[in-house]
Amino acid sequence: MAHPPANSPQASTPNGPAPGISGDTTVHKLKPRHVTMITLGGIIGASLFVGSGNVIRSVGPAAILSYLMGGLLVFLAMRMLGEMAAARPSIGSFMEYARVGLGNWAAYLVGWLYWYFWVGVLAYEAVLGGETLATWFPGLPAWGASLALLAIFVGTNLISVRTFGEVEFWLASIKVLAIVVFLGAGTLYALGLWPDATLSVSNLWAHGGFAPHGYGIALTGVALVIFSYFGTEIAVMAAAESEDPAKGIRQATSTIIWRILLFFVGAIAVICMVIAWDELPEPTNVAAAPFTQVFERLGIPAASVIMQLVIFTAVVSVLNSGLYSASRMAAALAQQGFGPALLARRSSRGVPVYALFASTVGGVIASLVNFVAPDSGIFEFIMNSAGLVALFVYVFIALTQWNLRRTMTPEQVADLKLKVWLFPWLNIVLIGGVLFVLVVMMGSESGRTQVYTSLMVTVAMLALWPLARKKALND
């Protein structure tokens, strides 16, 4: 398969220039610092700051291995995506590559599932952010705060992609700064170099061993942590709207593993060294979150308040990124004829306005359902049914890259700026890892619920494929 030159500022599709690549003036594109911080911040959320406590309590210090293995699976997916994206920068990323490598049905399915996932995320983050604001300002209704947050970040996304990047740069900077301080101060404490601290590295093995419940549960722990990493692919979409798409994509995908190791694996290691795993409280609130517990152990004043602000920043950062991701995917789907043509229309600054509003409407409806009919089960269904989209996306990426590489000539492979090693064995490892996670999830009631509801949505999407195919052919 022939690819456009890796350094080309444009990547064409059968329906014309890739949406968002051409036609936008450079002044409205993302700068390298934006792409870098979007990549850094895209994987940092409440699941790390709070949810990591449940993983450590269940697995013990061997949670380090769970996060490491989960991170390696994501790294493989990002490397495969990077190989395709560096050669063919395109908004919609894996959706467009799935279309070329596997066919229109694959692009339609993975694209709309991904959009559905982000609509669910928008609802969840809006609800969480609204409830947080309501606790800070008791006179403010939670539903009103949720809608206000959605309105604010729709506004920032509407202005231009540069505005989105600038807002995300500063939001992500707060998260990154918090983790850098956490890693540095926590390491000093564990080494006994912090005021009033003693050497506590032995917490990794002194309380029942490194794997107190066995190494098998560390493997199953991958199913708990793999979803924490979802969001890394945003960097590829953002890089495609940067001043130098090919360079931005190569940097985003080739360095993600080090960020994963530093922020996730490093943070879990610090927590386990500073506080014995069996002394961590259940993270039912911010005060009991592992990050808060470590900061309090360090003697940092108002640790709970600081973490509330950091976690709120993480929530609105994901909300901001979710609006960007959902709108770009919807626009890319419409560009290929898999959705209403109106969704592909862009403003003079390259913003897919109608796709942005359509994505927001989905988030607003889901948010209101949670407040108006909390016992209806609709909100829970949306949250559960979107859970497996990450795994589906990783499988589609592995299969797409496998098929595209298989059809390339040796000369084309040699010209690739970014390559997947040990082809196709790492593709098999990634697909096998996803299947393993699915098997583990089927072993618990909550996991089975996610699997079944996600499959229901997938079947519903496939049932609508004949209509989408007919529209695409007519276009």
For 166-232, the DSSP string reads: HHHHHHHHHHHHHHHHHHHHHHHHHTT-STT----GGGGTTTT-SSTT-HHHHHHTHHHHGGGGTTT
Domain-located, residue 83: yes
Question: Which of 124, 154, 114 is CA-nearest to residue 45?
Answer: 124
* Average pLDDT of the segment spanning 447-455: 88
Q: Which of these ranges, 297-301, 382-386, 441-445, 465-469, has the smallest mean pLDDT?
A: 382-386
pLDDT confidence of residue 474: 67
Domain-located, residue 156: yes
The percent of residues above 90 in pLDDT, for the chain, comes to 40
pLDDT confidence of residue 11: 36
pLDDT confidence of residue 366: 76
Helix (H, G, I), strand (E, B) or coil at 12: strand
Reply yes or no on whether the pLDDT at 217 is more than 60: yes
Mean pLDDT (the chain, rounded): 85
Neighbours of 469 (CB within 10 A): 15
Instruction: Transcribe 277-303 into DSSP letters.
Output: GGGPPP-SSGGGSHHHHHHHHTT-TTH
User: Which of the given ranges, 69-78, 240-249, 425-434, has the highest pLDDT on average?
Assistant: 425-434
Q: How confident is the model at residue 3 (pLDDT cuts 50, 70, 90)?
A: very low
| pLDDT tens-place string over residues 292-311 | 999 999 998 889 899 999 99
Q: Which of these ranges, 24-28, 228-232, 257-261, has the smallest mean pLDDT?
A: 24-28
Distance, CA of 98 to CA of 331 (rounded, Å): 16
Distance, CA of 303 to CA of 324 (rounded, Å): 32
| pLDDT tens-place string over residues 354-392 | 999 999 987 788 778 878 877 777 777 777 777 688 788
Instruction: Specify the number of domains making up the chain.
Output: 1
Domain-located, residue 10: no
Distance, CA of 280 to CA of 271 (rounded, Å): 9
The residue count for the chain: 475
Task: Give me the CATH number covering residue 413.
Answer: 1.20.1740.10
Rounded to the nearest 10 degrees, how much is the dihedral formed by the CA atoms of 405, 410, 412, 416? 70
Reply yes or no on whether the pLDDT at 42 is more than 80: no
Domain-located, residue 376: yes
Question: Which of 240, 230, 252, 229 is CA-nearest to residue 418?
Answer: 252
Residue 316 CB-half CA count within 13 A? 30
Residue that has been written with the tokens 């403010």 in this structure: 140
| pLDDT tens-place string over residues 108-138 | 999 999 998 888 888 888 888 888 899 899 8
Reply yes or no on whether the pLDDT at 9 is more than 60: no
Domain-located, residue 270: yes
pLDDT confidence of residue 106: 93
Reply yes or no on whether the pLDDT at 20 is more than 60: no
Q: Which of these ranges, 11-15, 75-79, 224-228, 390-394, has the smallest mean pLDDT?
A: 11-15
Domain that holds residue 45: 26-474
- 301 phi and psi angles, rounded to 5 deg: -65, 150
pLDDT confidence of residue 352: 93
Domain-located, residue 302: yes
Reply yes or no on whether the pLDDT at 340 is more than 70: yes
* Average pLDDT of the segment spanning 2-20: 36
Reply yes or no on whether the pLDDT at 422 is more than 50: yes
Helix (H, G, I), strand (E, B) or coil at 377: coil
Q: The tokens of 233 are what?
A: 């692919």
pLDDT confidence of residue 6: 33
Domain-located, residue 141: yes
Domain-located, residue 219: yes
Neighbours of 206 (CB within 10 A): 12
Helix (H, G, I), strand (E, B) or coil at 242: strand
Q: How confident is the model at residue 428 (pLDDT cuts 50, 70, 90)?
A: very high
pLDDT confidence of residue 209: 94
